Structure 1
Amino acid sequence: MLGGSKRQKLKHGKYEELENILLEWFQQARSLNYPINGGVITEKAMEIAARLNLTEFSGSTGWLDRFRSRHGIVYRQISGETESVNNDDIASWKNNVLPSLLRDYTPNDIYNADDFELFFKLMSDKSFVFKNETCHGGKLSKERLTVLVCTNSTGTHKLKLVVIGKRRSPHCFKNVRTFPCEYLAQSCAWMTGTLFMNWIQ
């Protein structure tokens, strides 16, 4: 049986002050409907750890899983726009602000980038079955990569895909010298602000 101090440690985690600050930031960000993935949480945690001089904090996948479990944070599909989005404000920004931002750029010089998760071992969630058969699936694989795509507004310049994995040198890269894409490594295979800024530069 666990003693009281041990239970308290499991409940609050080793980095209680860091997690309290992080949780407050998370609540504020979600109140504004900002989308937050694991990479964003980890990067913010590392930033807070640096401020608190927690040099041993690594922001590992295990820590992230425990932090989410302690605070009831789950990863869900964003379901459409909320009432906080004001269509009049959007129209006003597009008509009055956006043109001034684009004035000095040609369409060839305006780029759009977006990333998505690739669950490369995930089986289909649908299957042909016999009419009277109960359709059960196996355990779902969570192995994934993050892929960033980018092109200019005319489609005349499509940048190389950026693929983000967990390991810097996976075994499958052995004896492979050239890639059709740019490969980056991050402990949770997320696109972070730091990775994005390094890629931009």
Structure 2
Amino acid sequence: SVNKKICKTLSIGTKANAICEMLTGESKAVFAKKFNVPRTTLNSWLENKDKILDVIDVDTFSVNRKRIQTSTHSDIENYLLAWLCQARAQSILVGGPILAEKANQFAAQLGVANFECTNGWLEHFKARHDISSRLVCREANSAPQLQINEWKSMTLVAILAQYELKPHCFNGIQINRLPVQYMANKKAWMVSTIFEEYVCAFKKVVLIVDNCPAHPRITGLKAVRLQFLLPNTTSHTKPLDSVIIRNFKIHYHHDLVMRMIVAVDSGKAFKLDVLMSITIMKKAWDLVEKKTIANCFRHCGFTCEQPAGEDNVLGVESEESSRFSNTIDQLRIIGLWPTDVSQDDFIDVDAVVSVSELTSDSDIVAAQSKIDKPDHDDNAEEDENNDTNIQHSLIKLAAD
């Protein structure tokens, strides 16, 4: 009997990962054997590498999809996806009927005639963007583990393979001496314009961020690669959400309480202003250990290194947390701390406070309309040696 040749179609994520590996210059024969595909298939991937990698860059489709096929009404789909990301960021439960209604509303706003969001269109929309029936899942234990593992093993690996651990722009720069950036906003929110300015000031770098109304999909970037995490999986894929933020907040709140105690002991009224808050914040960030940051990045898949004897700081109470707890116990004994307020209550008091702008439907349409008018990232053509004006102080997170 004659063996029939089986046609094998791999996912977009696998293709992107393979392309990044092939660009290192190793023999195609090695990769043909590794991915179990003929060389002609590898050549086809390389010919379409810009298209495939662009899909990964802008998070257009799920990395599990095998074909790059856009919707007939891609503009409506883009607006609907942006609206859904905002709803998810607020932990709002969104079902199929609501999505269908929003799609119809966007169609009306855009003046698209004879559009009706059918079940078929909606199912294709969900499939393209890997949206499950459980559209909102805020807790870590409800996050889709399979998608998280695939994102770490495919998308993240493909991204990191194209970047050096230490960019050339940091040569001769003492990162720990860079000042804290301060920006003010009347609404006291992180807004998309601030984020855009922050992103466009970078040179050769990849920024991996979570889905948030203040994080728009900026087009026209050349030297900057903006990669979004999977929605609702930040506790698994976002290092800051692992332990780093909580560690920082413990240091901040403990320092705040100690200052309050000093004020009480001296008979003075305690007043907290913006300048004092910035001072405490800088001190708290400096107290977050490098080991904590490195392990959080390692836990989220940003490095494959597993040094022997590594202390597992994930989920382990720090010494600072223990000292803070002892301080609270002492204050509670002398009646200066409410009996029904725990350390966690105090640290997480702002957990439900909105810290980013909320965009209306018209804002979403306006933002998405900028896709056809790229005018960002002029720094790509500047001299890479002009590095002395770098003003970003949070880029050393994983390097150490």
Shared fold (TM-score greater than 0.5)?
Answer: no
Which structure has more relative contact order (CA 8 Å, sep 6+)? It is 2
* More strand as a share of residues: 1
Q: TM-score, normalised by structure 2?
A: 0.18
Larger radius of gyration: 2
